[in-house]
Structure 1
């Protein structure tokens, strides 16, 4: 057999392996989606957000306003470009749409974990596939992942797009995916700041260009709704509920519950700006010390903390963050790193209703100190992990991915 023949044979085997990996991921994703459909469809949150996306897509196809309230459906609070994208969500059956959407979410979760593990140095398709599927199953009980799947949210999909764009070795076109993701949901815009502060000006400009393109498309397709959003709704800090909701985990909501008032915007701007500057500074520091994945996670956690609204399911970034800490624990055999992983997993798996915390908005302004700690648990752990990662970038510099 000639060298050329051997090369062709190896390429054929590699293609076969890629198809096998894709097939296993597809089967696992569909299986988990079907289990979710069978086990969770009686939940009060079942596909409430997917219903919003489908309604917005229907409105685009039928020439209706995407921001007009629909009976029995939560209001659409996303940029109009998202509605244009959701117009492609056409399905002859609601059940089929639910299963396909959740299968896509699970596939994105597997892909995100694969990206993270490969960045951490895990080699070999079989090992990557086994570890990715195993960690995906392990991540399902985490509250952000569980609610994201049950409600039919889009956060996992956006997370894998942003991570792929930040971690890929080929810098050509880097930033475009982040800009497109921001066109669907504004939260990825914090990564543009991160790109600028880490000296990747060209990538930041590409991200802003892609984001501007989504705005231009939305004005071309939905001029009235685009004006409504960009000149009005984008500044609405109360899009769905009051800030004191116990299911909101940003600093603004923590301050609202702690101070017992909804009028916290002034305090939040001061505290949020301080935390934002420190958080981005920490992300840049860690990135410059060679830990690009840890830097991306710190940036994401900072965005969740300073955002006006961060629901529980927005905290899906805890999964790559725990992989970062877990990589340090595995490489260094550090008991502290192991404790950080286990404690964080426990906090993000626990549910607020386990502790009898009142869910009514009025009662959320009059919580005991212990209940305050419960309802601020995501924010507290997020701040602690950011601090730990900064310390780890010095103590475990060569081990932090």
Structure 2
């Protein structure tokens, strides 16, 4: 069922979005890196007119096969994999939310994936041919297999593909899982060693230069960037917000990780993982709309509590969050030019920060509810 539904989703996404501005924009970058690797060229020498490859060189090894078929075929194959990952993510969440029966979970996961397609992070992830859903699956699978041998290796490998999962290494350490954190560090280090062994020049370029650039592809105030740094740039009317962002990000990082650790220690590992992920999205220098794919497991956490507690407030949080993460408020009525983004009205500021605001509200409600409610969190 998983492959059939995933392939159907990939074909529908292909038919609906082909020709749009964002169609396959990221997959094209992955393919270019894979082609460069096959041809013996640098993966960081982007062809003119394409976005640069800003991932660790280890990721190019994963993307190399994508350069072999034509772009349409590669897009359908890749989105079949991404959709299958999303189905599996939801099935994992359903298992930890208490749903019994493998077939029942699989059926609900397939149906829920179809319902999740209008969510902006899901839609843009598939439209652009992104890798985010795969990373969410690797991280969640690793975090939720509590006590398993080698726990943390998945997180380390995910970080080798894209640096953002590194926050989960800190999360493992803060929750007292030191051995698992060391496994993650070891696996991450192994991806770096492998990169230097296979791609020594590109590895040197990335790890000694590109990794220190916090603004490699976009201006800080970009309205599509749903991170704390971007919100601060628009609020303060200047792109030079590094110092303020570092202070504010440190505060948010400590509070967010603290809340995630609290939930984990109260027996809510899925909720803790989601809060850690949201913290990472808030404090990251760049969090595009598709990076917020973690909204899917977060909605399942809040939805489970709403269902168990029959809570009107919880259902309100779910419904409002679905609207915000579907409506694409920062796409409409918001300037998308460098100067205009620094001079927004109050309403435009709210629209441009919609994911940040909604994510913060969901985090705050989750912590507050877990403290006051007798309903158990997954």
TM-score range (shorter-chain normalised) is over 0.9
Residue in structure 1 matched with residue 336 of structure 2 by the alignment: 359
1:381 aligns with 2:358: yes
Counterpart pick for 1:186 among 155, 163, 170? 163
Aligned-CA RMSD value: 1.1
Q: Give the TM-score of the pair, scaled to structure 1.
A: 0.92
The size of the alignment, in residue pairs, is 378
* Structure number with bigger Rg: 1
* TM-fit CA distance, 1:398: 4.2
1:65 aligns with 2:37: no
Secondary structure (helix, strand or coil) at the match of 2:54 reads: coil
Distance of 2:345 and 2:374 partners within structure 1:
40
Residue in structure 2 matched with residue 26 of structure 1 by the alignment: 3
Residue in structure 2 matched with residue 262 of structure 1 by the alignment: 239
Residue in structure 2 matched with residue 107 of structure 1 by the alignment: 84
Deviations 1:100-155 (A, max 9, x none): 00011110000000000011110112321221111111110111111000000000
Distance of 1:313 and 1:91 partners within structure 2:
25
1:283 aligns with 2:260: yes
1:38 aligns with 2:10: no
Counterpart pick for 2:133 among 156, 179, 188? 156
Residue in structure 2 matched with residue 17 of structure 1 by the alignment: none
Cα pair 2:226 2:287 within 8 Å, conserved: yes
Cα pair 2:223 2:330 within 8 Å, conserved: no
1:315 aligns with 2:292: yes
Secondary structure (helix, strand or coil) at the match of 1:261 reads: coil
Residue in structure 2 matched with residue 14 of structure 1 by the alignment: none
Residue in structure 1 matched with residue 177 of structure 2 by the alignment: 200
Distance of 2:338 and 2:288 partners within structure 1:
15
Structure 1: 5+ residue runs without aligned partners? 1-23
* TM-fit CA distance, 1:352: 3.1
Q: Give the TM-score of the pair, scaled to structure 2.
A: 0.98
1:89-168 matches, within 5 Å, as 89-168=66-145
Deviations 1:46-81 (A, max 9, x none): 000000001101111111011112123210000111
Distance of 1:92 and 1:125 partners within structure 2:
35
Structure 1 pair 81/318, CA: closer, same or farther in 2 (3 Å)? same
